[in-house]
Structure 1
């Protein structure tokens, strides 16, 4: 099985990818949080920091683009190709209201004919590189998916990454695996499953249910348990020593980058909303202390308390948890 790390804006940037790969190697590709190219056709300093090849050495990283404008896509793909990237990924799945209101992300699925025109332009004019798609089933109803799948099948999509929910589901409704099976039956190109795989047991069940599928993408499950891919392949679960080394490298990297305790702590809090699921009793005082911390001394004391707690073999996901 090939395991890919799903992108999460504000969390899985280049600093995170480097630290994760150092301490928990084994992910086959890291898909980057999306770039949103504009008509200015320039990268911001933050975007460059994320995509420059020297910041992504030693592992496979795939840039993701979020745009409805084919000219902007082609410019950005050309720049990335010149940097040495062999694949770009088009985001057709982001459910954010601010994104879909502009007709981007999952918003593109609402206008199949326009999407078809976009893909026709992109695939006919793009530089010689792979173009993969990450998509949902549709905007409101999974019955939208057959028409979308017909469109995708017209083009040499290097990989169709399917998150089998509609935009209206966000991350709350269980994944609609019957529609992934529909895709397997009706689509001839390479397919990757994304959604709801948060434990090694989930990965094992998926492999049993879909023995012909050899590519999956995991997001929140890997944020909660950085050792998940290792576990899914039969290796050991997380241990405190490695987990602490991973945390400390990321934390000190952020301190150096932001030159601000407050900004660093803010970024680490987002990670702890997932990582805390590995610690027995974290939902009590330790996690509250991390959430309240506003500077390094308060944060570091709270983290020390968190690491004094027993560690679970796998992250715990309660009923109704977003997946």
Structure 2
């Protein structure tokens, strides 16, 4: 089984990925948060800063991700990204459930129009084949917008094209990250897909992974929030030691130092570290108290006192 780190906009940027790769690793691929190309001839500095080779450790096998519903935008952006050295794989985001994204018929909003999806894929694969670059084009998708009734039509589109890997998050856009994944829809994908499959959704513990692996023989799983909460999760799945407070503290301190170097104000650093605790507080026995201690901090002095208390007095589950 291969393990992929899912992209999460605003969280899994290059600072985060580099620290994770140095201290934990175990992941076969890291998918970058999406780039959304527009009418401009070139992607701007801010749009591509996260994937600049000089910003990413050599330990990070990074796959750029593009969010668009226009083939010409995809091709234009892909050419520039390939010129940066990313010549193996580009991922297409057809799963983002954000309201602003969906309103533009991008991300999971693209799933509303399978005819447009078909034209999009036909154009980009015709370009890819004529270019003879050997580039792999992978896709991350959901199973529908409001329901999964049209998932068979969506799969028909995907099956017409040589997608290198189809990552399925078996929820609709409407579900966001609520409710349980629709495993009947994933069963259907396993049955009919002509392309290699990767599963994404609610793998947060070793038991979650083992229960999935007993039933499904797919090539890869993509883990997002589970790995953000427990950065040792993939290594635990592989039989290594469980996450310890020492590991978590080392990780926290590395991220704090690295973010401190690039944040323009204390409040930005505080916000970023609070975001970190939104996920990792789950590891503690009294996760609510842990989260509350951090949440009520209004400055870095109080934040550092709260972190000292957490690591000094609280135990992991």
Tell me the TM-score range normalised by the shorter chain: over 0.9
Q: Report if aligned partners of 1:41, 1:72 keep a CA contact under 8 Å in 2.
A: no
What TM-score do you get using the length of structure 1 for normalisation?
A: 0.93
Does residue 60 in structure 1 map to residue 64 in structure 2?
A: no
Unaligned 5+ segments in structure 2 are none
Which of the numbers 274, 287, 304 marks the counterpart of 1:300?
304
Which of the numbers 147, 153, 164 marks the counterpart of 1:158?
164
- Distance in 1, matches of 2:22 and 2:270, equals 22
Q: Which residue of 1 aligns with 2:173?
A: 167
More divergent stretch after superposition (119-128 vs 257-266):
119-128
- Distance in 2, matches of 1:10 and 1:304, equals 26
Spell out the pairing of 1:1-323 with structure 2 (5 A cutoff): 1-56=1-56, 57-85=58-86, 86-126=88-128, 128=133, 129-210=135-216, 212-284=217-289, 286-313=290-317
- Distance in 2, matches of 1:167 and 1:33, equals 18
Q: Report if aligned partners of 2:63, 2:91 keep a CA contact under 8 Å in 1.
A: yes
- Distance in 2, matches of 1:58 and 1:132, equals 21
- Distance in 2, matches of 1:166 and 1:88, equals 23
Q: 1:150 Cα shift?
A: 0.8
- Distance in 1, matches of 2:253 and 2:46, equals 22
The 3-state SS of whatever aligns with 1:283 is: helix
Q: 1:282 Cα shift?
A: 3.3
- Distance in 2, matches of 1:309 and 1:32, equals 35
Q: Report if aligned partners of 1:254, 1:264 keep a CA contact under 8 Å in 2.
A: yes
What TM-score do you get using the length of structure 2 for normalisation?
A: 0.95
Q: Report if aligned partners of 1:38, 1:72 keep a CA contact under 8 Å in 2.
A: yes
Q: 1:14 Cα shift?
A: 0.3
For residues 173-222 of structure 1, the C-alpha deviation after alignment (integer angstroms, 9 at most, x for no partner) is 21011211111111121000000111010001111011x21300011111
For residues 251-305 of structure 1, the C-alpha deviation after alignment (integer angstroms, 9 at most, x for no partner) is 1111110132110111111121110001122312x42231232332122111111
